[in-house]
Every structure is written in structure tokens, then in C-alpha cells.
Amino acid sequence: MHKLLSFFDKHIPSASAHCDIPCGIYDPATAQIAALTAIRMIDQINELAEKGELSLADQAKLGRLVAEKESHCNKAKEEVRIIWGDYFKAPQFEKFPGTHELAHNIMLQGSKVRQHIDRDMAVEFLNLINQFAENFWASKGVDTFTATCPYAPAEQVVYPKLG
């Protein structure tokens, strides 16, 4: 039995995705939170830099912070790709003709944030994702508002007006 299952694991392609059914559940909040996390990781990296000489524990923390920053940049990009690729269709593209360029700019900016520890780059990443979130919610007929998120890094986030 083990050999049979191993054969299938090796020879039958599998994929991982948000939902290829499609489930119809899309929300840019995950991308926004991931972008906020990248900003927060950069803030903590910069706090470590202010210490000057880093202890071994600080160096280990730095490695974890960088890994998390990069992981969350990838997560934000993936969440935007899912909504852009699975949710947006011709009617949404007609209503929001800049969607392709916006999604592309998010991908490029996310890569920049992965490559650097520049907070301004990370805030711009969040701003682009916020624009994407505004378009997404508008395409569903949901009004939005902008508010400072209630936790560090305390940046502006676009939220849907629900209720």
C-alpha cells in the first residue's frame, strides 16, 4: 500500500490554491495584513540595527525577522494574484481598467520589499494593496473607509463598510 501511495505522490501532479472550485470567498484583508506584517518586520529590523553590535540571540532574531518579512511579502502577492486571477472578470476589468497594471505594480513592489529593508517601500506596497482593496470592494458595491490599523505598525488600511 505504501508503495502505491508513494507512486501516486510522485507521478500525479497536485496543486495548491486558495480555491479552484471556485468557492467565491475572496477578501483582500489577508494581503493587507501580510503587507502590514512586512512593515512591522522592517520596523523591528531597524530597531535591532540601532543596537549597533548584535548578540548571537539578536542575530538569530534578525534572521527570523527577514524570513518572516519575505514570507509575508510572498503571501500578500499570492493573495492579490488569487483575487486578480480568480475573481476579476471582464465586467470588473471594464469598470476598473487599471487593474492589470495595479496588480503588476503590486507584484513588483512586493519584490522590492523582499529585497530591501526600506520602510517607505513597504508602506507603498500596502498603499498599492489598499488601492486594490478599494477596487475589489467597489466591484461588489461595498463602500469603504480608511482608518489607522489598531496595532503596530499603525498604518492606514482600507476597510469595507459592513453592517
CB 129 within 8 A of CB 98: no
Give the position of cell 527570523.
Answer: 64
Residue 18 clears pLDDT 80, i.e. is over it: no
For residue 157, pLDDT over 90 is answered with yes
Supply the pTM of this predicted model: 0.87
pLDDT digits (tens, 9 = 90+) for 50-80: 998 999 999 999 999 999 999 999 999 999 9
Domains in the chain (CATH in brackets) are: 27-160 (1.20.120.400)
What would the pLDDT profile of 25-34 be if each residue is shown by its tens digit? Answer: 999 999 999 9
Angle at 85 between CA 94 and CA 30, to 5 degrees: 110
* Position 11 confidence tier, pLDDT thresholds 50, 70, 90: low
CA distances from 97 to 82, 84, 85, 94, 103 (A): 18, 12, 15, 5, 11
Q: What is the secondary structure of 86-149 as a DSSP string?
A: II--HHHHHHSTTHHHHHHHHHHHHHHHHH---HHHHHHHHHHHHHHHHHHHHHTT--EEEEE-
Q: Rounded to the nearest 10 degrees, what angle do helices 29-49 and 56-82 cross at?
A: 160
